[in-house]
Amino acid sequence: MNRTLSLTVAAAACALIGNAFADDITIDPTPFVSSRTRAEVQQELKEYKASGIDLWADNYNPVAGLTSGKTRAQVRAEYLAERDKVAAFNGEDSGSVYLARAIQPSQDIQLAGDPLEPR
């Protein structure tokens, strides 16, 4: 029964498949106008080659000259201070309980419909 049903469904799906037609290519009628001259582009290429940095090379290391302004101890202390907050925001409730407990509403908030004196 299942085999007959699946063959019927497959045959019906094949029957409903239509033809796909490729569309014509779109030709942009407006001519290209460069914002820089050929000499400017060649000068930029010459400067790029002279710099010795190839952004597309396999051995290019973008963080080779990176230096930090903090020590390992400072970064570790920041991590330890923030890990409970990060764990709360990555929890099941996306941090809503953490925010409800951490943020206390200001006492000078006036809501619509309240009397003129602040709470």
Span 13-33, pLDDT tens digits: 666 676 666 777 888 888 888
Least confident span in 6-10, 98-102, 106-110:
106-110
pLDDT at 41: 95
pLDDT at 114: 59
Span 29-55, pLDDT tens digits: 888 888 999 999 999 999 998 988 888
The sign of the dihedral angle between the CA atoms of 48, 53, 59, 63 is negative
Given a contact cutoff of 8 angstroms between Cβ atoms, the answer to whether 98 and 85 are in contact is: yes
Whole-prediction pTM value? 0.34
